[in-house]
Amino acid sequence: MPGILVFAEQRNQKVKNSVYELLAAASGLSGTMNEEIIVLMAGHQCAEAAKSMLFDGRLLLADTPELGNFSSEAYTRAIQSAIEKAKPSVILFPASAMGKDLSPRIAARMGASFAGDCISLEAEGSGNLKAKRPIFAGKLHAELTLAAGSLRVVSIRPNIFPPKKGNSGVSPRIEPLVVSLEPSDLRVKLKETAAAGGAKVELTEAQIIVSGGRGMKAPENFKIIEELAESLGAAVGASRAAVDSGWKPHAFQVGLTGKTVSPSLYIACGISGAIQHQAGMSSSKVIVAINKDSQAPIFKIADYGIVGDLFEIVPLLTQEIKKIKGDG
């Protein structure tokens, strides 16, 4: 019986939260398509990560030294091995950096239909899939139909589906997956990974993001953004203007040439809201804008807007949040 294959991204033997979001999407499809859900995890010495998953079902584990560091070629081969074994009708990836690398490769290799960075996905009674994805920097949404009868590859934007986790103590049925890798399969070898000192909360998976833009005026002023983020348990983001000015590394950039995020709450501080920035955050569930310019474009998409000096408003917000939490 065909199944729905979910790619379980893990880093340093820790399962990414996006895996449970994909399981929620797969669960919705499975009910209509009457197909089982199969999880694929690839890496090295990641058996404990596989066992830790709160998922009651089959998990294909590709565990080999060649998969220890991420390699597009090696991971693609592992996924192809999983396809040969499970023969799925649908493969779901997160629209993360890794997922955006692998999903189109697999679609091209397998001659499959492909929909990337989707914000909705549902199955029809005929077996067709209906997907929706933003286009033209988020100005429009494209509605796609992926016909039944062939392999469909889909990547889903993080924070779109509520995570679906099983009960604690529930472990998957782990099946070893043999991946045959020849030296010719690995034309590029990763020798070293230099981890940058980063935020406590990963930007693309954060439920709350506080971002600063040109209105921050100087890099040292991001301290008030970081304090607000810390009080909320949020990630810190930045606009392209702030990144181009050297105030924050590119890893913090939200927008068309940065990261695309979909948090439950997005707080934009001193960000005008050009269309390039909106492309990276307009799918946020609630948007709060703080800007002294009442005509700033960000207010057109904001659910709540505060016209005023962010250097007065942001510290007040932090202070009040700490009071509510009993930290102030």
- 194-207 pLDDT, tens digit per residue, is 666 555 678 988 99
Q: Tens digit of pLDDT per residue, the chain (328 long)?
A: 689 999 999 988 889 999 999 999 999 999 899 999 999 999 999 999 999 998 889 999 999 988 988 989 999 999 999 999 999 999 999 999 999 999 999 999 999 999 999 999 999 988 899 999 998 878 889 999 999 999 999 999 999 999 988 777 788 999 999 998 877 777 887 777 766 655 567 898 899 999 999 999 999 999 999 999 999 999 999 999 999 999 999 999 999 999 999 999 999 999 999 999 999 999 999 999 999 999 999 999 999 999 999 999 999 999 999 999 887 6
CA 165 to chain centre: 17
| In-domain check, residue 23 | yes
Number of domains in the chain: 2
The pTM assigned to this predicted structure is 0.86
39 and 158 in a single domain? The answer is: yes
35 and 88 in a single domain? The answer is: yes
Phi and psi at residue 91, to the nearest 5°: -125, 130
Phi and psi at residue 271, to the nearest 5°: -115, 125
- Describe the strand order of the beta sheet including 129-135 as a list of residue ranges: 120-123, 129-135, 140-146
| In-domain check, residue 197 | no
179 and 212 in a single domain? The answer is: no
pLDDT tens readout for residues 152-194: 999 999 999 999 887 777 889 999 999 988 777 778 877 777 6
The CATH number covering residue 60 comes to 3.40.50.620
24 and 66 in a single domain? The answer is: yes
Contact 73, 136 (CB under 8 A): no
Closest CA to 7 of 64, 110, 80, 73: 80
Q: Which DSSP string corresponds to 32-100?
A: HHT-EEEEEEEESS-HHHHHH----SEEEEEE-GGGSS--HHHHHHHHHHHHHHH--SEEEEESSHHHH
Q: Which DSSP string corresponds to 278-318?
A: HHHHTT-SEEEEEES-TT-THHHH-SEEEES-HHHHHHHHH
170 and 223 in a single domain? The answer is: no
52 and 98 in a single domain? The answer is: yes
Longest CA pairwise span in the chain (Å): 61
Closest CA to 100 of 204, 250, 189: 204
Burial class (CB in 10 A: 0-12, 13-18, 19+), 58: middle
153 and 54 in a single domain? The answer is: yes
173 and 236 in a single domain? The answer is: no
132 and 254 in a single domain? The answer is: no
| In-domain check, residue 119 | yes
> Which pLDDT score is estimated for 78?
95
302 and 210 in a single domain? The answer is: yes
The CATH number covering residue 213 comes to 3.40.50.1220
Q: Which H/E stretch holds residue 130?
A: strand 129-135
Range of the domain at 257: 203-325
What is the bridge-based pairing of β-strands 3-8 and 90-94?
A: parallel
